């Protein structure tokens, strides 16, 4: 009788025995009542074709439940439902709010490793379908994020200006506004483009022209004077944030805006991750 | 008073049904009618978009892709704002789908571009390495059926009063023109040319210039419209 050592089995057996005994007892009681019982009590005055009914008071438990339900009904109608009604959207808003609060407190001061990891996660979900999982732009289908600028891209912007590429007030909403088209042309444009795309190395015609024509907005080092104009040397936080907000319309095509889809910390993280792609070159 | 009704079980049953149905109607219909109004800014599909929608249905995109973003943070993070009833006001039928083998597409127009769609539909793994979606090369050759799309648009305009050729937002301009088939086709071809140029595929541009809209172009116009 090994199975009897188990408590649940013993309890089940005990329960079965109890049910059996109770059933036998109840059946015996009613059999006895049918055989020997006599009706008693005071009949009500009215009867239906000779069939009468005893006077019975409502049971106390039933009366309390009845009155309680009425009280609860009034409360539910006036307070319970109007003030506490469930709403799917309400629950969603609560969920988002709680998550944002947790996110902000957890990543109030993220380390560079945190940002890198977060940036990689966001990049793989939101950016990689176009820029590729390695960020190289899938053979020219999107911007190659391991380089800042290619020569043809610089030439395209010099030729068309930044307003022609999208936003009429300057494509990406930098404080210095739009870049006019055709600031340079021909061999001059070629020289500057080679200089910019080549990583601002060396001196000569390209470097001189850059200092004379481009540096007034983009800064003598091409870093955009602390966010006044686009940084031409690396993907700094500002340009990544601007592109995510405004989208981009360049020589390759149009990148949609990701406005409102990422938090400021996530945007920063994406910038950190994108910069990490071109490190070690 | 109603003993005559109790003697006629059939009419009594009809009476019970009417009473209960009436209670249901006054509870459900007003809310339903309110919720299913078009949201502010919702517009009917243009001819080309409607043709693309028919391609979407024909290729059974809705078997693997849903068009319904539920109000959960995990979904709104990935796909954007949750879907509202009124956004489907001009969908006949709506294409909610019931299974996500692929991702939701209800706002795909916000974060994908024409050239991406063309690359993806031609060879999905070229842009999404792990994708199990089949290639849809045949829709680059097939010509979209603008006649049927026009018939659908004209039908819903006449029967359901869908606001084609109307100024919906009160700025004095017609928001979604339809007009005669000739006008509508002309407009659809212009729109298709723009989309075809965005895909950067010469074969598509050439087809549109010959007056034939490839199914892929109509489909991309429809997908770009989903926002």
pLDDT tens for each residue of B28-39? 888 888 887 888
For chain A, first and last CA: distance in Å?
A: 77
CB contact under 8 A, B110 and A256: yes
The domain B47-225: what is its CATH number?
1.10.760.10
Distance CA B226, CA A188 (A): 44
Looking at the predicted structure, is the pLDDT value of residue A176 above 80?
no
Residues A9-36, mean pLDDT to the nearest whole number: 95
> For residues B188 and B199, what is the distance between their CA atoms, to the nearest angstrom?
16
Alpha carbon distance A250, A144 (integer Å): 13
Q: Where are the domains of chain B?
A: 47-225
- B residues 72-91 closer than 8 Å to A (CB): 72-73, 76-78, 80, 82
Q: What is the pLDDT of residue A273?
A: 92
| A168-172, A175-179, B50-54, B156-160: least confidently modelled range | A168-172
Digit-coded pLDDT (tens) for A217-272: 888 888 888 888 888 888 888 888 888 888 888 788 888 888 888 888 999 999 99
Q: Average model confidence (pLDDT) for chain B?
A: 91
pLDDT confidence of residue A46: 85
* pLDDT at residue A160, as a whole number: 80
Tokens of B34: 């309110």
Query: Is A108-148+236-281 a CATH 3.40.50.720 domain?
Result: no
Most trustworthy range by pLDDT among A138-142, A176-180, B205-209 = B205-209
Chain A CA closest to residue B224? A256
Residue B207 confidence class, pLDDT cut points 50, 70, 90: very high
Give me the pLDDT at residue B102, please.
92
* Residues B46-74 pLDDT 10s: 999 999 999 999 999 999 999 999 999 99
pLDDT value of residue A186 = 81
**Interface contact A141-B115, CB threshold 8 A:** yes
Asked whether residue A44 carries a pLDDT value surpassing 80, the answer given is yes
Q: What is the pLDDT of residue A163?
A: 64
Q: How far is B123 from chain A (nearest CA, A)?
A: 13
The tens digit of pLDDT for each residue in A74-101 reads: 999 999 888 888 888 889 999 999 999 9
Structure tokens at B81: 């704002």
Residue A166 has pLDDT above 60, yes or no: no
In this structure, which long-range contacts are made by residues A231-236, counting pairs with CB atoms below 8 Å and at least 24 apart in sequence? A232/A148, A232/A149, A232/A196, A233/A148, A233/A199, A233/A200, A234/A148, A234/A275, A234/A278, A235/A145, A235/A148, A235/A271, A235/A274, A235/A275, A235/A278, A236/A271, A236/A275
Judge contact between B226 and B61, C-beta under 8 A: no
**CA–CA distance, A121 with B126 (Å, rounded to integer):** 21
Distances (CA, A) of B131 to A59, A156, A179, B35, B126: 69, 34, 40, 37, 9
- Residue B224: partners with Cβ closer than 8 Å, 6 or more residues away: B109, B112, B113, B114, B117, B195
> With contact defined as beta carbons under 8 Å apart, do A272 and A116 qualify?
yes
**Confidence class of residue A148 from pLDDT cuts 50, 70 and 90?**
confident
Radius of gyration of chain B (CA): 22
| Percent residues over pLDDT 70 in chain A | 96
Residue A141 to residue B119, Cβ atoms within 8 A: yes
- Interface ipTM above 0.90: no
For B126, name the nearest residue in chain A, comparing CA atoms only. Answer: A138
- Where in chain A are the domains? 108-148+236-281, 149-233
């Amino acid at each position: 009788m090994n199975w009897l050592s188990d408590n649940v089995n013993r309890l089940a057996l005990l329960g079965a025995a109890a049910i059996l005994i109770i059933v036998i007892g109840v059946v015996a009681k009613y059999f006895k009542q049918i055989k020997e019982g006599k009706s008693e009590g005071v009949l009500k005055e009215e009867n239906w074709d000779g069939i009468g009914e005893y006077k019975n008071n409502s049971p106390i438990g039933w009366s309390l439940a009845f009155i309680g339900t009425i009280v609860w009904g009034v409360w539910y109608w006036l307070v319970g439902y109007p003030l506490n009604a469930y709403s799917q959207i309400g629950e969603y808003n609560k969920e988002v709010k709680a998550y944002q609060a947790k996110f902000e407190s957890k990543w109030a001061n993220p380390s560079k490793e945190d940002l890198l990891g977060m940036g990689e996660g966001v990049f793989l979900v939101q950016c990689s379908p176009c820029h590729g999982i390695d960020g190289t732009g899938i053979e020219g289908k999107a911007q190659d994020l391991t380089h800042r600028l290619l020569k043809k891209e610089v030439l395209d912007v010099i030729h068309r200006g930044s307003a022609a590429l999208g936003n009429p007030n300057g494509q990406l909403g930098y404080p210095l506004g739009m870049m006019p088209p055709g600031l340079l042309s021909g061999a001059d444009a070629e020289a500057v483009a080679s200089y910019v795309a080549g990583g601002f190395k060396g001196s000569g015609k390209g470097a001189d022209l850059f200092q004379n024509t481009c540096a007034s907005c983009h800064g003598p080092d091409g870093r955009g004077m602390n966010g006044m104009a686009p940084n031409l040397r690396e993907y700094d936080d500002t340009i990544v944030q601007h592109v995510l907000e405004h989208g981009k319309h360049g020589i390759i095509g149009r990148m949609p805006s990701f406005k409102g889809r990422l938090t400021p910390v996530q945007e920063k993280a994406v910038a950190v991750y994108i910069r990490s792609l071109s490190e070690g070159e | 008073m109603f003993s005559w009704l109790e003697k006629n079980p059939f009419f009594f049953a009809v009476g019970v049904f009417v009473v209960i149905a009436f209670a249901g109607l006054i509870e459900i219909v007003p809310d339903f009618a309110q919720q299913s109004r078009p949201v502010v800014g919702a517009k009917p599909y243009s001819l080309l978009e409607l043709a693309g929608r028919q391609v979407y249905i024909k290729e059974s995109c809705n078997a693997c892709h849903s068009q319904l973003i539920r109000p959960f943070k995990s979904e709104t993070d990935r796909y954007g704002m949750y879907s509202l009833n009124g956004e489907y006001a001009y969908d006949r039928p709506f294409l909610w789908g019931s299974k996500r083998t692929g991702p939701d597409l209800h706002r795909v127009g916000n974060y994908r571009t024409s050239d991406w769609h063309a690359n993806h539909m031609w060879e999905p793994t070229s842009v999404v390495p792990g994708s199990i979606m089949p290639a849809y090369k045949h829709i680059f050759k097939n010509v979209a059926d603008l006649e049927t799309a026009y018939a659908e648009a004209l039908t819903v305009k006449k029967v359901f009063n869908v606001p084609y050729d109307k100024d919906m937002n009160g700025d004095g301009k017609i928001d979604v023109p339809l007009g005669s088939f000739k006008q509508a086709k002309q407009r659809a071809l212009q729109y298709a040319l723009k989309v075809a140029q965005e895909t950067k595929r010469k074969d598509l541009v050439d087809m549109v210039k010959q007056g034939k809209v490839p199914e892929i172009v109509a489909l991309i116009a429809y997908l770009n419209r989903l926002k």
